[in-house]
Amino acid sequence: MRPEPPPHADTVAEVGEFGLIRRVTAGRTQPPTTLLGPGDDAAVVAVSDGRVVVSTDVLVDGVHFRLDWSSPEQVGRKAAAVNLSDVCAMGAKPTALLIGIACPADTPTALVEGITSGLWQEAAVAGAGVVGGDMTSSATLVISVTALGDMGGLEPVTRSGARVGDLVAVCGRLGWAAAGLAVLGRGFRSPVAVVGAQRNPEPPYPAGPQAAAAGATSMIDVSDGLLADLGHVADESGVGVDIRTELLQVHPRLLDVASALGADARHWVLTGGEDHALAATFPDQGSIPDGWQVIGSVRPGGGVTVDGRGYEKPPGWEHWR
């Protein structure tokens, strides 16, 4: 659902593509890595070691966000965060975003300006710039973001490097966005901190390069659920992963919300997506950086278990299911 525009608000059709682009790019500050920003056929972004890390995500109105639940700025920040965290999960430092926005002709320009303002804000948090993109007409509001990153001389940390005996650790919040979705789905707007986690995730951007420098053997962004995403690491690495529930930290606020809703807070932590925490494997306790919490280990075999057993519920979000 889209909020009603204020009286006499102009639309994207009235302002036009290039007028709208001028509105959302004028007066913005770029980081030093942006050598040429918006306004030409392509942007130019500096990288220190000749390798560029690239990731793309698409967010669709009604699927990934709802404008009756989130402000345009929150939608923009979320669209940036889900991409920036993927770059950090490779161990790279984000440098730039490319933005594609498709929307109906009667979309208020204030809505698009709000989304792009959020994109700029979140990019700045991660140290990246918004260097270009495209706008076009569509029956549905769609935001496509491509994030670029610089490895800074480090090797990319992939999903395929986990080894038997490694420790599994996470950095960032787990279960908060799932709790926020449950609250919003019941028609409530509080607790604010929980609902805010769904509207505006807070990925631990510096933790990705930090883990890469510390010798992480594999890493992944937790976007679809901890068990589901660690399943990708297990599959790509040819190993098994076991999560120990006694090591999982379930915040008291989540326990309170779960109690009020008749839900299971631990299930949110294990399977809830959209917090965009980072999960990684490390050779030993001494290699794990500050801010990371050990939650399990890598074992022989395959798949992901919880306390040595298969998890009976769906492990996370799956598209088209």
Binding residues for Mg(2+): 41, 55-57, 86, 134, 221, 224
What's phi and psi for 196, nearest 5 deg?
-60, -30
What's phi and psi for 286, nearest 5 deg?
-65, -20
What's phi and psi for 261, nearest 5 deg?
-100, -5
CA distance 234 to 184: 33
CB 24 within 8 A of CB 135: no
CB 298 within 8 A of CB 239: yes
Both tokens of residue 302?
Answer: 């395959």
CA distance 3 to 71: 9
Amino acid at 161: G
CB 282 within 8 A of CB 216: yes
What are the start-end ranges of the H helices in 107-249?
A: 109-126, 176-185, 192-199, 207-214, 226-237
CA distance 235 to 227: 12
- As annotated, the binding site includes 41, 55-57, 64, 86, 133-134, 159, 221, 223-224, 274, 317
Both tokens of residue 289?
Answer: 């950086």
CA distance 87 to 208: 8
